[in-house]
Structure 1
């Protein structure tokens, strides 16, 4: 008599089954590598785009905002000022686009075989880490060129990266679950990401925001990440008043995105 395995949804408050994710670690690795290869397949420059894209964007921002608009860069060269923001921002915006489309793009897998659906947005997030690392190497080159020495508060960099990952994964899970039912998410996301760019201190400093609005502004998780990274690499005091509100919101987004993803997981195969 053949053995029949019945797969049932998890019960109670167990929203992440780490043991199950570990069993499917090979699939996570395969999808992550596939995402990297697909991005640079049949590309002449290949992984060089991870350097060209953020560097070219930084140069454009430097000419337009630093040169023509004379945007204040807190006394630092504008190219370094803007690149320190684009480094985490490009990762954040890229993961939103990839994770939002992760379930729809893999609908064939979802409808044919069981695996933890959380692996799909996780793979989208992890596949962007290569670009993030390469962009960091460019950042090191800029720091050496401008002879800027990071301060001791660089020890808080892992904290900033955790906040960046939680915000990216939280919103990514939320958007990927929504995109299965509402295909408008895919088309609206391009506009939303462009709008969010100017709602974060990428081309300007948070000090340019009126003081009475700075707390509300700091609720954006990327505000604390960007200003925290700038402070660490430019050897300035950590702006905790801008970091902690966004950190709290990042945790809330992560928890809410996870619960929403798990709640909608049971209908993914039906509507994908």
Structure 2
């Protein structure tokens, strides 16, 4: 959107009425991101994050416990089929904690992607009635998932205590890996949310995309099963660097994920930049199409 400066209003005779009008017009072509505009609407962003947190488990019997149940149940299934039956290597770590440490950032990413892709359609009444930076909507949805992440993280600490695993100083890198997961979820979510406004097929195709992406990420298995140069190409999946980074920071896996994190970080930054530009390009059509 382009904001036109205040202009005076004249009556039919051409005399100045003393009134001023602020005109807001659709932007043309590719539009730059105005971070100052986002900052000006920061209170709205915080309000929408709080709103999403409040309604996430509204009228559910177990409430916020679902934030722990979902990755925990998946971990039990993985431990049975991949750990016991398939005998998948786990880099010398107990398989339950090996898989759960990867499922926490993955669940954060998958839920952020799933909810951000449908965020514009879910807030269509707000989009049609009020002017504000539309980027606020998917950003708030992704950020709201941080609470679920923290609750699930407490369960991981319990597992680490049970298996006598003490985190090293590498745990200081954990916020960086969480930021990388957030960037990836937001980047892809911006692409899909803009597409979903026009093509509602996105919400039907998304579960298949998330399932394929999950098995393309080293959650049930270690990335060490791959050798170079395939391992570097594998790291083009941004969640590879996130998952391996989490295991290294928390569980002290033998091999540092430095090169993989670098490749994943570049891929995530490109996804985010492309998502923001495409979102801004399509933003002017949202109110008419949604």
1:22 Cα deviation (Å)?
Answer: 2.7
Between 55-64 and 5-14, report the one with greater CA deviation. Answer: 5-14
Alignment match, 2:55: 38
Residue 35 (structure 2) pairs with residue 18 (structure 1)? yes
Query: Gaps spanning 5+ residues in structure 1: where?
Result: none
1:20 Cα deviation (Å)?
Answer: 2.2
Which of 121, 127, 132 matches 1:115?
A: 132
1:15/1:258 contact within 8 Å kept: no
Whole-Å separation in 2 of the counterparts to 1:88 and 1:56? 15
Length, aligned pairs only: 272
1:206 Cα deviation (Å)?
Answer: 0.4
Residue 91 (structure 2) pairs with residue 74 (structure 1)? yes
Whole-Å separation in 1 of the counterparts to 2:179 and 2:30? 23
Local SS of the residue matching 1:3: strand
1:180-259 equivalence runs, <5 A: 180-236=197-253, 237-259=255-277
1:129 Cα deviation (Å)?
Answer: 0.8
1:11 Cα deviation (Å)?
Answer: 8.6
Local SS of the residue matching 2:209: helix
1:231 Cα deviation (Å)?
Answer: 1.0
1:152/1:235 contact within 8 Å kept: no
Whole-Å separation in 2 of the counterparts to 1:248 and 1:9? 32
Considering only aligned residues, what root-mean-square deviation do their CA atoms show, in Å? 1.8
Local SS of the residue matching 1:28: helix
Between 231-240 and 109-118, report the one with greater CA deviation. Answer: 231-240
Alignment match, 1:159: 176
Q: Which has the higher helix share?
A: 1
1:110 Cα deviation (Å)?
Answer: 0.9
Residue 285 (structure 2) pairs with residue 267 (structure 1)? yes
The structure 1 segments of at least 4 consecutive aligned residues displaced by more than 6 Å after TM superposition are: 10-14
TM-score, with length taken from structure 1:
0.94
Whole-Å separation in 2 of the counterparts to 1:179 and 1:13? 19
1:14 Cα deviation (Å)?
Answer: 7.1
Local SS of the residue matching 1:7: strand
Q: Render the CA deviation track for 1:125-145: whole Å, top value 9, x for unaligned.
A: 011111011111111111111
1:55-74 equivalence runs, <5 A: 55-74=72-91
Query: Gaps spanning 5+ residues in structure 2: where?
Result: 1-16
Alignment match, 1:129: 146
Whole-Å separation in 2 of the counterparts to 1:15 and 1:139? 41
